[in-house]
Amino acid sequence: MAVDQTNLSYEHPLYATMDKMPGITVATTTVDMLLTWGLKNSLWTFAMATSCCGIEFMHANGNRTDLDQMGSVPRPSPRHADVMVMAGTITVKMAPRILRLWEQMPEPKWCIAMGSCAISGDFYRDMYSVVPGIDTMIPVDVYIPGCPPNGDDLMAGLKRLQEKVEAQRAGRWVEPEGRPETAKAILPALGRVIDRDGTQTERQLRACQSMGLDGNEHRQSDLVAKSAGLLSNLLKLKGR
Amino acid sequence: MDPIFQPFRDDPHYPLDRYEAAADLMLLNMGPQHPSTHGVFRLKLVLDGEIIVKAVPYMGYLHRGVEKMVEGLTFAQMTPIFNKHDYVSPMTNEQAYAVAVETALGIEVPRRARYIRTILAEIQRIASHLLWLSTFTLDMGGVIGGGAAMMMYNFREREDIFDLFEAVTGSRFHYNTHCIGGQRHDLPEGWVQRVRAFLDRQERAFDEYLRLIRNDIFDLRTKGVGVMSADLALGLGITGPNLRASGVDFDMRRDAPFHAYDEVEVRVAVAQGCDAYARYEVRMAEMRESVRILRLLLDQLPEGPICGSKPVKMANAVRVPDGRGYTAIEGPRGEIGTWLIGGGEDKGAKPFRLKIRPPSLHAMAAMSYLLPGHTVSDVVVVLGSLDPIMGEVDR
């Protein structure tokens, strides 16, 4: 396995300037540039590891492709983190919790969809219990395809995110145009279970609502209402 | 341990109002997102101070509906789905499925294919136990407290194993290398020598691990924690290293041989301690035993075809007739069973029902028996020592 070292250099005007001035340890820069430089080189990750990709995420933070070298430290709490790495399948039962954890992350925050389950639901996407992709709930910045993507891929994804952060801070970021054919193509296929009878969608929605946060108790809260709204959107999407 | 917790250890449904608390009881949720719950697992703990009175496990946060999904798939399409159940030992899960269909169809697997399967299974066992060791020590020491050092050592060897598997199958993680009737990929040239070199490194690494974790703190955290009697283990259907750590001498590799295990001698590791330390002992001994078995298997690896005379590769070629049967193999976590009812849609090209019996699910059932009387900090030790994988618990 070869890690392309040329992609891992952290070129910054500050470095070049300081190289030209040996012995001088003071350099002037704008506050904004300094902040951007610090921000993009300390993207701490919060691994929302639900399944297989979580193991590969551990490997990426292990000793072969050490993500620490990019300033990316895995944190167990969403409150410490800048980037949520959604690694694994998202189930209907887990989706409200993922949303809440995302809301607990402080701004600025980014999201990486790692692996095909987080991108689109993979081959579980038509199942009754699976959410077809994290981007049905949370805006995604970088998609890393693979099942699961290995450490190199994750590193390349983080590098892309660093570029995006830099461009965003400099006001150079342009949202890529959504291609209509792609948008059509990534819509979930007709649900196998949901399609079987017309009332399934409604029944499933009601079941999710009554399930509440606890999974066993009937409890109404803002979050449940929010997740119910989310699910109804999702099921509309599935039924299309 | 205080005897007032004994009723809760005997029966998790013992009513809470009969317990005389020293202070107000407190409800603590652990998970579903928690760095030490090995995936998305939730424990509801009722606490008296720091002591657990009652523990209720909740599962289903990774329920992907696999058993329903495979009813709409042909038999050749299923292998890549089965290795995602237990994502720490994908190889043995594929094998459990392949063995089930082969038994149903009465297909004889060539001798070389059986040897390759055994070799891959044993390497996978080492890899799985290494991940267990790293997460177990991570849970106890924390990332800051030196536990991460152990993980770095374990993952060094796990990367080697991934390289070996990648050389055979082309994939690091989800292999899809078993087809019904044999193997899809033969061993590449020079692979056996690479495995031998890896085994030498691995054997030296065991001593390194011991130097890292053999200390008083490790003993204090694990000895006498999570004591599971043999009766309880047998009653809950717990298999694998967790059962052997309770003093029950049962290993399907020796007692109900599959693959090529009938051609090698398997020395089963048994410990009498019943606690987390005994489970650690058993798994460490199993890794050393796997190294020994692998050397034997590599010595007597036969030549020949890797797939049957009529390789069953076409999606529509496999048709399991109406009938039912249970097959099981010994995975790193215990008995991976497959209950297969044939004669499904499309004249038996799809299964009518395929039920997987995951060993981790049964281990999770023990949580509510083991935890009462322990402190909150022991939860991760007990959970880690049982080595559950949520992918196969919820499926």
At residue A195 the predicted structure's pLDDT band, cuts being 50, 70 and 90, is: very low
CB contact under 8 A, B155 and A56: no
SS3 assignment for A201-225: HHHHHHHHHHHCCCCCCCCCCHHHH
Query: What is the structure's pLDDT at B122?
Result: 93
At residue A239 the predicted structure's pLDDT band, cuts being 50, 70 and 90, is: low
CB B58 within 8 A of CB B383: no
Residues B51 and B130 in one domain: no
Percentage with pLDDT > 90 across chain B? 23
How far is the alpha carbon of A91 from chain B, nearest alpha carbon, in Å? Answer: 6
At residue B64 the predicted structure's pLDDT band, cuts being 50, 70 and 90, is: confident
Most confident listed range (B207-216, B248-257, B345-354): B248-257
Query: What is the structure's pLDDT at A197?
Result: 46
pLDDT in tens, B234-267: 999 899 899 999 988 998 888 888 888 988 888 9
pLDDT at A6 over 80: no
CB contact under 8 A, B81 and A127: no
Query: What is the structure's pLDDT at A184?
Result: 46
Query: What is the structure's pLDDT at B310?
Result: 60
Q: Please check whether residue B62 touches A, CB under 8 A.
A: yes
In order of B108, B137, B198, B258, B349, the CA distances from B150 in angstroms are 43, 7, 19, 33, 47
Residues B244 and B226 in one domain: yes
Query: What is the structure's pLDDT at A200?
Result: 46
At residue A3 the predicted structure's pLDDT band, cuts being 50, 70 and 90, is: very low
Query: What is the structure's pLDDT at B287?
Result: 92
Q: Please check whether residue B32 touches A, CB under 8 A.
A: yes
Looking up tokens 């701004």, which residue turns up? A107
Q: How far is CA B159 from the centre of its chain?
A: 19
pLDDT at B149 over 70: yes
Residues B7 and B120 in one domain: no
CB B211 within 8 A of CB B180: no
CB contact under 8 A, B62 and A59: no
Chain B positions in Cβ-Cβ contact with residue A191 (cut-off 8 Å)? none
- Residue range A24-44: mean pLDDT, rounded: 79
**Of B35, B58, B81, which one is at a domain's C-terminal end?**
B58
pLDDT at A202 over 50: yes
SS3 assignment for chain B: CCHHHHHHHHCCCCCHHHCCCCCCEEEEEECCCCCCCCCCCEEEEEEECCEEEEEEEECCCCCCCHHHHHHHCCHHHCHHHHCCCCCCCHHHHHHHHHHHHHHHHCCCCCHHHHHHHHHHHHHHHHHHHHHHHHHHHHHHHCHHHHHHHHHHHHHHHHHHHHHHHHHHHCCCCCCCCEECCEECCCCCCCHHHHHHHHHHHHHHHHHHHHHHHCCHHHHHHHCCCCCCCHHHHHHHCCCCHHHHCCCCCCCHHHHCCCCCHHHCCCCCCCCCCCCHHHHHHHHHHHHHHHHHHHHHHHHCCCCCCCECCCCCCCCCCCCCCCCEEEEEEEECCEEEEEEEECCCHHHHCCCCEEEEECHHHHHHHCHHHHCCCCEHHHHHHHHHHHCCCHHHHHC
State the average pLDDT for chain B: 86
Query: What is the structure's pLDDT at B129?
Result: 93
How far apart are the C-alpha atoms of B22 and B3, rounded to whole Å? 14
Helical axes A222-239 vs A95-104, angle rounded to 10°: 120
CB contact under 8 A, B174 and A55: no
At residue A139 the predicted structure's pLDDT band, cuts being 50, 70 and 90, is: confident
Residues B87 and B125 in one domain: yes
Nearest-CA residue of chain A relative to B135?
A58
Chain B interface test: which of A59, A73, A194, A213 (most B C-beta within 10 Å) = A59
- Residue range B353-362: mean pLDDT, rounded: 90
**Strand B353-357 and strand B334-341: pairing?**
antiparallel
CB contact under 8 A, A94 and B62: yes
B350-353 LR contacts (CB < 8 Å, sep 24+): B350/B70, B350/B71, B350/B72, B350/B73, B350/B74, B350/B75, B351/B70, B351/B71, B351/B75, B351/B320, B352/B71, B352/B322, B353/B67, B353/B71
**Could you tell me the residue range of the domain that residue B10 belongs to?**
3-58
CB B379 within 8 A of CB B45: yes
CB contact under 8 A, A215 and B60: yes
- Residue B32 is nearest to which of A88, A94, A216, comparing CB atoms? A94
Tokens of B199: 């085994």
Residues B8 and B89 in one domain: no
pLDDT at B68 over 70: yes
How far apart are the C-alpha atoms of A132 and A137, rounded to whole Å? 10
**Of B12, B38, B58, which one is at a domain's C-terminal end?**
B58
Percentage with pLDDT > 70 across chain A? 61
Burial letters for B304-328: b for 16+ Cβ neighbours within 10 Å, e otherwise? eebbbeebbeeeeebbbeeeeeebb
Q: Is B318 left (phi over 0), alpha (psi -120 to 50) or beta?
A: beta
CB contact under 8 A, B68 and A127: yes
Amino acid at B326: Y
When divided into structural domains, chain B yields a total of 2
In order of A9, B49, B280, the CA distances from B216 in angstroms are 44, 26, 15
- Residue B65 is nearest to which of A50, A62, A127, comparing CB atoms? A127
Residues B169 and B280 in one domain: yes
Amino acid at A64: R
Q: Is A213 exposed, middle or buried (0-12, 13-18, 19+ CB in 10 A)?
A: middle
Chain B positions in Cβ-Cβ contact with residue A95 (cut-off 8 Å)? none
pLDDT at A159 over 60: yes
Nearest-CA residue of chain A relative to B34?
A76
- Residue range B135-149: mean pLDDT, rounded: 69
Tokens of B395: 């499926």
Domains of chain A, by residue range, sit at: 2-37, 44-189
HSE-up of residue B202 (Cα within 13 Å, Cβ side): 27
Which SS3 state, helix, strand or coil, does residue A88 take? Answer: coil
Tell me which fold the domain A44-189 belongs to.
Answer: Rossmann fold (3.40.50)
CB contact under 8 A, A147 and B174: yes
Query: What is the structure's pLDDT at B199?
Result: 93
Pick the range with the lowest mean pLDDT from A169-183, B99-113, B217-231, B286-300: A169-183
Query: What is the structure's pLDDT at B345?
Result: 76
CB contact under 8 A, B62 and A51: yes
How far apart are the C-alpha atoms of B84 and B65, rounded to whole Å? 12
- Residue range B91-118: mean pLDDT, rounded: 89
Which SS3 state, helix, strand or coil, does residue A157 take? Answer: helix
Residues B115 and B247 in one domain: yes
At residue A228 the predicted structure's pLDDT band, cuts being 50, 70 and 90, is: low
How far apart are the C-alpha atoms of B120 and B126, rounded to whole Å? 10
Q: Which residues pair with B26 in a beta bridge?
A: B47
CB contact under 8 A, A52 and B72: no
Pick the range with the lowest mean pLDDT from A126-135, A155-164, B360-369: A126-135
How far apart are the C-alpha atoms of B225 and B371, rounded to whole Å? 9
Chain A positions in Cβ-Cβ contact with residue B163 (cut-off 8 Å)? 1
CB contact under 8 A, B390 and A51: yes
Q: At B159, give phi and psi (nearest 5°).
A: -65, -40
Query: What is the structure's pLDDT at B279?
Result: 92
Q: What is the ipTM of this complex?
A: 0.86
- Residue range B366-376: mean pLDDT, rounded: 89
Nearest-CA residue of chain B relative to A94?
B61
CB contact under 8 A, A63 and B32: no
CB A40 within 8 A of CB A93: no
Q: Is A221 exposed, middle or buried (0-12, 13-18, 19+ CB in 10 A)?
A: exposed
How far apart are the C-alpha atoms of B173 and A149, rounded to whole Å? 9
Query: What is the structure's pLDDT at A213?
Result: 37
Q: Please check whether residue B35 touches A, CB under 8 A.
A: yes
CB contact under 8 A, B39 and A49: yes
How far is the alpha carbon of B28 from chain A, nearest alpha carbon, in Å? Answer: 13
How far is the alpha carbon of B80 from chain A, nearest alpha carbon, in Å? Answer: 10
CB contact under 8 A, A76 and B35: yes
- Residue B64 is nearest to which of A56, A62, A127, comparing CB atoms? A127
Which residues on chain A place their C-beta less than 8 Å from a C-beta of chain B? 1, 48-52, 54-56, 58-59, 62-64, 76, 88-89, 91, 93-94, 97, 101, 123-124, 127-130, 147-148, 150, 192-193, 215-216
At residue A23 the predicted structure's pLDDT band, cuts being 50, 70 and 90, is: low
CB B373 within 8 A of CB B5: yes
How far apart are the C-alpha atoms of B77 and B71, rounded to whole Å? 11
Query: What is the structure's pLDDT at A22?
Result: 63
Query: What is the structure's pLDDT at B297?
Result: 92
CB contact under 8 A, A64 and B155: yes
- Which of the two residues, B21 and A90, has the higher pLDDT score? A90
Chain A positions in Cβ-Cβ contact with residue B162 (cut-off 8 Å)? 59
pLDDT in tens, B155-190: 889 999 999 999 999 888 888 888 888 888 888 888
How far is the alpha carbon of B74 from chain A, nearest alpha carbon, in Å? Answer: 14
Looking up tokens 């329903």, which residue turns up? B68
CATH of the domain at B202: 1.10.645.10
Beta sheet of B42-48, edge-to-edge order: B25-30, B42-48, B51-58
At residue A226 the predicted structure's pLDDT band, cuts being 50, 70 and 90, is: low
Query: What is the structure's pLDDT at A238?
Result: 53
Q: Please check whether residue B56 touches A, CB under 8 A.
A: no
Query: What is the structure's pLDDT at B126?
Result: 93
- Residue B155 is nearest to which of A63, A93, A148, comparing CB atoms? A63
Nearest-CA residue of chain A relative to B43?
A214
Query: What is the structure's pLDDT at B293?
Result: 92
Query: What is the structure's pLDDT at A223?
Result: 47
